[in-house]
Amino acid sequence: MKRLISIGVTCTMLTSAAVAQNFQVEPIIGFPDFGYMEDPGTGDGQYTGPVFVLADQYPTTMPALDQGAQDILQMDFMGDSINYAVAVRDYIFEGNIRGGDVERDFDLHLNTNNRDWYHAPWQHWGSLGREGYHGLTREGPLSANVLDKTQTDSSYAYAVGFYNGPGGLTFGKVWPSADQGPDLSSLIAGEGFPEGTIVGKFLFTVLDDTQVGYLTNPLQWNAYMYNCDVPSSPSYLKCSTDKTRSTQKINLLQMDIMVKDSRAVDSAGWVFGTFAYNGNLPAKHDYSAACEQYAGDGKKWCNLVPVGVMWGNDPDNNIGYLNETPSVDSPTFFNKTLTQTVINPSPDLPAQHLGWAGRLDGPADNPGSSCMSCHSTGQYPAVSPIMLTFNPAEMPQNGEKADEEWMRYFRNFKDGEAFDPGRAVSTDFSMQMLKSIQNYVEWRSQSQDGKYAVQYWTDNNVNAVTRGSVFE
């Protein structure tokens, strides 16, 4: 039986939220902040709770690398991978978790550690665009069994990502003004993101501990999400005909990290890592001392257990393996022959499906891919799809040797090198950079009945950069 989790927000509930929007955080009305939100209302019924404000005042000169980032760049991501991942996690937490009301955490404008963080522009647009509580976009499908064997309902992940100062610099170069289109010259020159860029991302789901045990004791945010993704809604699974949204409580599931670290020579200077939420852990545990400072529900961020780290795609490792139904009786598979992925051996980590042949992937990610496989397709125009197939049955199966076409998705890359050199410009593993450019071009084409020459750069169809179905 499904538990009713819909909280159907009424105007009364909304006014009681009582934190008015602060105009000081947004003196310049730049890029749109979001695409979907409860009606602001009028008079007594006006919504005065927290609203997502895009952090888009990108720096124009390279910000000094703070001590935290410098320390991370000294750590050994190969030999001490799990501690490296935790250090990056804690760096991202610093000044963004304020203790108490987690709804106010990760409002990047309020960072109390004097660190600047930025969002990618142009993610508001389109049917999967940002909602107005936390800037969450609708992401990949969470098909039955993908989170645990006991998960019978499917849904979609909702997520938000952000970049530190050096990452913001690159966004500022490509997006010098909200009033003009992207300037691709720095990407064409192969500049990419500077050393010390750190990226974080949180993924949430409306699925809960009735089907996914480790989502107990959840860290919850509001989301203005599609009813067709909510198992308790009459609109459930009717996405093609029912486009309604409502306010729902969603549960933290996964955290992703990316670090531009020039020592990662096989992966265009990127190190990727991921974490899975485990609410069964005591709120205070031995993952890091940094978490002891957070009060109340703020401690729950520390229930994010490292899954692992990767700094390359292990291009020669071509025999399939897939743990299709992770669960207590089907635990995480460790492919010991991989040399560029490390998976956390801790029993605190819930069983994982991981990526193809045991490469790094998070609980919400497609098991036929890997973090770096998918992100290596970050290029404009998107002339190759992000994956060859989303269907697990069509992937090289357990023990089966993958063909060359499949292994094209598990190559290693030099800094600035595109997935399809000469046919597209690399966005340096940034999928949100790619989406910002693609969304802008699509919007302009549609709203002004025009086409851009850039749409003819290639003879191929340009692929939608999405893991889920796009519905218009």
Q: C-alpha dihedral over 257, 260, 261, 262, to 10 degrees?
A: 150
* Residue 124 or 299 having the CB closest to ligand HEC: 124
Amino acid identity of residue 396, one-letter, is P
Residues near 103 by beta carbon (within 8 Å), at least 6 away in sequence: 50, 133, 221, 222
* Residue 47 or 333 having the CB closest to ligand HEC: 333
* Residue 14 or 322 having the CB closest to ligand HEC: 322
* Cβ at position 193, least distance to ligand HEC in Å: 10
DSSP assigned state of 70 = H
* Residue 299 or 379 having the CB closest to ligand HEC: 379
* Residue 264 or 387 having the CB closest to ligand HEC: 387
* Cβ at position 459, least distance to ligand HEC in Å: 24
* Residue 159 or 291 having the CB closest to ligand HEC: 159
Chain residues that interact with ligand HEC, rule: CB under 6 A: 137, 139, 161, 199, 201, 256, 258, 272, 274, 360-362, 365-366, 369, 371, 374-375, 386-387, 430-432, 435, 465, 467
Strands, E assignment, 294-392: 304-310, 341-343, 379-380
Sign of CA dihedral 386, 387, 389, 391: negative
* Cβ at position 274, least distance to ligand HEC in Å: 3
Rounded Cα distance between 255 and 273, Å, is 9
Write the CA distances from 4 to 13, 166, 210, 250, 356, integer angstroms.
18, 43, 11, 13, 35
* Cβ at position 43, least distance to ligand HEC in Å: 36
In three-state secondary structure terms, 304 is strand
245-260 and 304-310 beta bridge pairing: unpaired
* Residue 251 or 254 having the CB closest to ligand HEC: 254
Find the angle CA(142)-CA(273)-CA(469) to the nearest 5 degrees: 25
* Cβ at position 32, least distance to ligand HEC in Å: 16
* Cβ at position 59, least distance to ligand HEC in Å: 18
CA R_g for the chain? 21
